[in-house]
Amino acid sequence: MMRRPKITVIGSSNTDLVAKAPKLPAPGETVLGSEFIIAPGGKGANQAVAVARLGGDVTFVAKLGMDDFGDQALENFKRDGIRTDFIFRDEEAPSGVALIFVDDGGENMIVAAQGANARLLPADIDAARDAIEGADMVVLQLETPMETVEHAVAIAADKGVPVVLDPAPGRKLDANLIRRIDYLKPNETEAEILTGTRVTDDATARKAGEKLLGFGAGNAIVTLGKRGAMLVTPDESCLIPTFDTVAIDATAAGDAFTGGMAYALADGRELRDAVTFANAVASLAVTKMGAQPSMPTRDELEKFLVMN
């Protein structure tokens, strides 16, 4: 049996309350919707599930409340084969919840109530130190406290474990943190927040990526939605186009991409191939409603790649 890449994902877990409507509401507007689903989500959890379904050996580090949403999330992680040794429970804060509105074109609006996610602390990261130091890859986002992210990155970097950072929700980052990131993966909005460069086309995406390398990131991957991703490395910059699918719900497309790229890199693929692989994972994810329910299995992905 081939060795499965070991990936430790550190981040948020939410329960998503998703309503679909013909259009997204303006401030003060009520829009009559159609479908409503309750689905597991949270950027960290989505990425952990994406990697697990692709075949990775995943440890997820997170914090849940002592409530029904937390119980269900833990059950879901175990069903997907994710290691849950370092999923902590908080007796005071509720599990995280995200309110998501999706229009007929697949665009979305999200409000996330952090709950226990905001109480994932550096001490929790210390408890999971072995899982970080022994990983082939560590994956993080910004839906947990920044001090926690910085502490986890420092542990990984000190042991030479490559780090993927999905800088969402978008915010400015300390230069010392950026210098420890091997693969920095913002979307257009996040890239503008990080660099001050408004990303509107290939040229500005490349410029933003080059600025991120100038700040010290090892590699920058600026995702551009339906157009694919701008890859900027010390050796090259190129647009890697995505695959053509009909978008139903783009809620977790970025998480599918991050999980796919992390898995492919930890599995030994070159970065350009890993981004193409990630594009395929994201392209499949947007064809289904919900965050974690939309993450494709390895069999689904391989069939898709054969057809494309």
Query: Which residues are marked as active site?
Result: 255
The amino acid sitting at 78 is K
| Residue 73 Cα distances to 62, 167, 290, angstroms | 11, 23, 14
Picking from 225, 283, 259, 275, the residue whose alpha carbon sits closest to that of residue 11 is: 259
Q: What is the 3-state secondary structure (H, E, C) of 1-13?
A: CCCCCEEEEECCC
How many residues would you count in the chain?
A: 308
End-to-end C-alpha distance for the chain, whole angstroms = 28
Cis bond leading into 169, ω under 30°? Answer: yes
| Residue 47 Cα distances to 82, 158, 278, angstroms | 11, 23, 12
Q: 257-288 burial, b if ≥16 CB within 10 A, otherwise e?
A: bbbbbbbbbbbeeebeebbbbbbbbbbbbbbe
| Residue 185 Cα distances to 27, 159, 169, 190, 271, angstroms | 30, 22, 12, 9, 12
The amino acid sitting at 120 is L
Reduce the DSSP state of residue 198 to 3 states and report it.
Answer: coil
The amino acid sitting at 128 is A
Laid out side by side, the sheet with 108-113 consists of 36-41, 14-20, 96-102, 108-113
Contact 110, 99 (CB under 8 A): yes
Residue with tokens 């210098």: 179
